């Protein structure tokens, strides 16, 4: 089976309501501003805590902490979705220091990590007040992350590959293009070949284990996204080879059933672990669609459309409206397909997921007595998804876009 029905719930039939959507974006932003404490932090949602992160301890990374909230508020204001009542970057310097202290407390030296480290904090500061000193710091973080053995977006060099692409787009400075090419070259050298599957893949040395993830956060297709995004920085021969590898690996690893498609979490499951088929952005078809949405080749289009049908058949996720493993992230697959094909049914499906996600967010708030103040795992990311549903365009937060003026 392409997905586990227990992880999904029936779609609520709620008519698309532009006024309600705009009001809900504003409500999320106003409540977020109101709940920022004097140090510029937000209360952590119980679902964002685990055995290593005390749920009562405010979090700071881009993925599930203050950096993501700050970024989302600044972005929503920059694109004209809302007007802010407070400056979200007022405490950025002290929050960046807290983020480093959090990494050091866990003996983690991946300070350049895209979703967990300092790179996005410095990019926010650089967007507000660019300087050579900040550019040098960013270049040092990107260069220092090139050999990171995780080889995935959250911690590894694919994340800082993405940062180099975004910075080049912002500045047109050749230093970012050169760092992009150096990182891409290292990733090419680290590719492995599967005789069994007839495709390329990477291993990820992550959380003290070695994996063969394929997914949109930790895996192969997540690494494909910044390569596709920055392809103009590569010579024609290098890009042609990358495009061929990406197409082949996605074709060779897909599972097709009755006109629908999905991908397993791993190329090779870890010993003692059954093959895993999930249907969410971080593991499964939604992430594959989002990550290759701008691939110039049309060879994958039949597979991507089949994947979109699988996302629709599965329905909204039970884990709420968030981007990483929730209804908003899956809905971005529909927005990407609408942008790629122009077929209105994909926009209508995205908007149906948006209305369902509003109901999920309201129910979650009633249960926990608070919103979920985070970008990838919470309500700020969902607010940006609602904005993109209003404008009928897909710009996935911090993957497709970072600086609001480019959004």
| Known binding positions for Zn(2+) | 282, 324-325
Q: Which two tokens stand for residue 166?
A: 């975004």
3-class SS at 403? coil
Query: In the chain, what is the greatest distance between 2 CA atoms, to the nearest angstrom?
Result: 57
Count of other CB atoms within 10 angstroms of residue 143: 17
Read off the DSSP letter of residue 404: G
Short-list 200, 196, 175, CA closest to 250: 200
Q: Are 115 and 82 in contact (CB under 8 A)?
A: no
Burial of 230-263, coded b for 16+ CB within 10 Å and e otherwise, reads: bbebbeeebbeebbebbbebbeebbeeeeebbbb
Give the residue numbers of the binding site. Answer: 282, 324-325
Q: Are 247 and 221 in contact (CB under 8 A)?
A: no
Alpha carbons 325 and 11: distance in angstroms, whole number: 16
Alpha carbons 162 and 181: distance in angstroms, whole number: 11
Q: Are 72 and 383 in contact (CB under 8 A)?
A: yes
Burial of 51-60, coded b for 16+ CB within 10 Å and e otherwise, reads: eebeeeebbb
- HSE of 213 in the Cβ direction (CA atoms, 13 Å)? 26
Q: Which two tokens stand for residue 246?
A: 């990406």
Short-list 334, 341, 292, CA closest to 312: 334
């Amino acid at each position: 089976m392409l997905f586990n029905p227990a992880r999904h719930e029936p779609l609520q039939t709620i008519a698309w309501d532009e006024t309600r959507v705009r009001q809900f974006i504003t409500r999320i932003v106003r409540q977020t501003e109101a709940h920022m404490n004097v140090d510029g932090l937000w209360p952590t949602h119980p679902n964002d805590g685990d055995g290593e992160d005390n749920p009562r301890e405010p979090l700071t990374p881009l993925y599930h902490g203050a950096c993501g909230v700050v970024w989302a508020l600044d972005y929503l204001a920059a694109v004209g979705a809302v007007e802010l009542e407070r400056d979200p970057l007022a405490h950025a310097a002290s929050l960046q220091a807290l983020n480093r202290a959090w990494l050091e407390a866990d003996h983690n030296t991946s300070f350049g990590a895209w979703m967990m480290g300092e790179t996005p904090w410095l990019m926010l500061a650089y967007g507000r007040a660019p300087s050579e000193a900040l550019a040098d710091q960013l270049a040092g973080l990107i260069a220092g992350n090139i050999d990171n053995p995780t080889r995935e977006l959250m911690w590894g060099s694919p994340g800082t590959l993405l940062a180099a692409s975004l910075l080049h787009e912002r500045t047109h400075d050749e230093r970012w293009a050169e760092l992009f090419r150096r990182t891409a070259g290292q990733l090419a050298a680290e590719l492995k070949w599967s005789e069994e599957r007839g495709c390329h893949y990477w291993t990820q040395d992550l959380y003290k284990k070695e994996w063969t993830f394929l997914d949109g956060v930790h895996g192969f297709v997540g690494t494909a996204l910044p390569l596709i995004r920055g392809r103009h920085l590569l010579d024609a021969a290098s890009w042609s080879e990358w495009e061929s590898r990406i197409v082949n690996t996605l074709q060779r690893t897909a599972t097709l059933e009755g006109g629908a498609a999905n991908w397993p979490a791993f190329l090779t499951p870890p010993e003692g672990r059954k093959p895993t088929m999930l249907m969410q952005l971080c593991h499964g078809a939604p992430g594959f669609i989002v990550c290759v949405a701008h691939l110039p080749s049309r060879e994958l289009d039949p597979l991507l459309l089949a994947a979109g049908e699988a996302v629709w058949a599965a329905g909204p996720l039970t884990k709420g409206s968030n981007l990483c493993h929730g209804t908003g992230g899956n809905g971005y697959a529909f927005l990407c397909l609408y942008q790629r094909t122009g077929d209105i049914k994909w926009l209508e499906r995205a908007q149906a997921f948006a209305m369902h996600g509003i109901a999920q967010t309201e129910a979650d708030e009633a249960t926990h007595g608070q919103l979920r103040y985070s970008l990838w795992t919470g309500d700020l990311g969902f607010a940006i998804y609602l904005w993109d549903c209003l404008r009928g365009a897909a710009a996935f937060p911090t993957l497709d876009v970072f600086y609001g003026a480019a959004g």
